[in-house]
A = this chain, B = another copy of it.
Amino acid sequence: MRRKLTPRGRERRDQLMECGARLFAERGYHPTSVADVVAALGVGKGVFYWYFASKEELLTELLKASNHDLRKRQQQAIGEEADPVRRIELGIRASLAWFAEHREYFAIIQFAATDETFAPVLARNREIAIADTIRHLKDGIVDGRIADRDPALLAHAIHGVVAELTRHSLVEGNLPLDEVADLCVAFCLEGLAG
């Protein structure tokens, strides 16, 4: 693992991350060996350890990069919107849209959440996302637009809906993003009663 990377080196690193993401998503982290990753790229094993200290580090970097990207997308979507309920809706839609474009990351994140080694990173990422949602919820509760219940639990409920609809409808199924997003937003705002 080296610090200084030339443009050529940065490209290799990106190739390894892309390749790793694909294989981890397809077969899972443990069943994918470092040998598999470098073989898929047609290079020697040493290349991997030139860019990453370990297999663990590759996954950690993938998790960091994907979370960074997702958050950027959410923040851009919410922008300057003042209405807290609308902010929640825009956040939900941005998450679904991002996962629709990066389906391969879903399985990776899902796995990482169950692994002692990576769970801390994931937990931190999730806490930040939840904290964002809680802020909007509290604003909505003050406005009287949202029922006065524990905002932390409500935030987790929303994230649960988003996660499961992402998995079922976007990753496994291939339903139109807009329809899924509309239902997701409607369910979160009005429940089954609608």
Contact = CB atoms under 8 A, between A and B. Distances in A.
B28 A187 contact: no
B114 A110 contact: yes
Nearest to A114: B111
A27 interface: yes
B186 A147 contact: yes
A170 to B, nearest CB: 11
A115 B163 CA distance: 17
Tally of this chain's copies: 2
A165 interface: yes
Contact of A164 (B88, B156, B187): B156
Interface residues of A, number: 48
Interface in A100-116: 107, 110-111, 113-116
A134 interface: no
B114 A146 contact: no
A149 B184 CA distance: 11
A112 to B, nearest CB: 9
B147 A157 contact: no
Interface in A110-125: 110-111, 113-116
Given A28-B114, A146-B194, A191-B187, A156 B140 contact: no
| Top 9 A-B pairs, shortest CB-CB distance | A147-B194, A160-B164, A191-B191, A160-B160, A190-B191, A111-B114, A30-B30, A160-B161, A156-B168
27 contacts: A28-B115, A31-B116, A85-B192, A110-B110, A110-B114, A111-B115, A146-B192, A147-B192, A149-B183, A149-B186, A150-B179, A150-B183, A153-B165, A153-B168, A153-B175, A153-B183, A154-B192, A156-B164, A157-B165, A157-B183, A157-B184, A160-B161, A160-B162, A163-B163, A163-B164, A164-B164, A191-B193
